[in-house]
């Protein structure tokens, strides 16, 4: 059965471009983004890994480690990295798993036989410090991912983990947020001292608590 939100992210030990990683131990108390790419020396993947390298400081700000995986070897990855650095004008700064035996790909359901029975699709898993899966995304091989969206989701997840709020459609960091329906009206003023507004009994908004 496919991994679902709230499941414990499967642990594994794998060789990467930065040495051997024991996944849960490597994550420690950090959040994690594990994402797959179909193959080395391919155009869309080259742009994606370059984009993530450029955003590494943004992931660091969010206490988040990033880790890529494909079914190619670490040796192949290491050769490809120079192309990524050259064409994307960046420096690779996070590990790529060599998954030739498809261990990680199979643990996380990254191979979809009806799309391609040998290569991974563009999967994304956001994993919390509790090692539980907080988000899953699946893109086809032909569509490059929007990593600004992944940062936006991280902001939302971390906000919800620390405050009793949810984020509305198209929310971005700094916008008003939704007060959880689990909070009684009587408790709102003390819990949200910046104020609130009630649009409907089930739709109450407040300024972002940590801004």
Full DSSP string of 107-122: HTT---TTT-SSS--E
For residue 132, what are the CA distances in angstroms to 10, 32, 33, 71?
Answer: 9, 10, 12, 24
CB-based contact 48:145 (threshold 8 Å): yes
* Calpha distance 211→200 (Å, rounded): 24
Query: How confident is the model over 101-152, as pLDDT tens digits?
Result: 999 999 999 887 666 655 666 899 999 999 999 999 999 888 999 999 999 9
Listed residue (153, 138, 122, 149) closest to 31, CA to CA? 153
- Given the residues 27, 45, 67, 165, select the one marked as catalytic: 45
Query: How confident is the model over 38-56, as pLDDT tens digits?
Result: 889 999 999 999 999 999 9
Q: Does 28 qualify as catalytic in the annotation? A: no
Domains within the chain, CATH numbers bracketed: 13-144 (3.40.30.10), 163-206 (no CATH)
CB-based contact 93:74 (threshold 8 Å): no
């Amino acid at each position: 059965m496919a991994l679902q939100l709230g499941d414990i992210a499967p642990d594994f030990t794998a060789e990467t471009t930065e040495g051997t990683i024991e996944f849960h131990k490597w994550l420690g108390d950090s959040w994690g983004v594990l994402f797959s790419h179909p193959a080395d020396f391919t155009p869309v993947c080259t742009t994606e890994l370059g984009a993530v390298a450029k955003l590494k400081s943004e992931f660091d700000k969010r206490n988040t480690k990033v880790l890529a995986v494909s079914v190619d070897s670490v040796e192949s990855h290491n050769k490809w990295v120079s192309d990524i650095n050259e064409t994307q004008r960046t420096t690779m700064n996070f590990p790529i798993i060599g998954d030739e035996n498809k261990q990680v790909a199979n643990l996380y359901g990254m191979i979809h036989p009806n799309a391609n029975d040998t290569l991974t699709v563009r999967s994304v898993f956001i994993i919390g410090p509790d090692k539980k899966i907080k988000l899953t995304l699946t893109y086809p091989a032909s569509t490059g991912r929007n990593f600004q969206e992944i940062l936006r989701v991280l902001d939302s997840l971390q906000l919800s983990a620390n405050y009793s709020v949810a984020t509305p459609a198209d929310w971005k960091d700094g916008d008003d947020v939704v007060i959880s329906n689990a909070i009684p009206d009587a408790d709102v003023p003390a819990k949200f001292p910046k104020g609130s507004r009630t649009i409907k009994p089930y739709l109450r908004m407040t300024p972002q608590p940590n801004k």
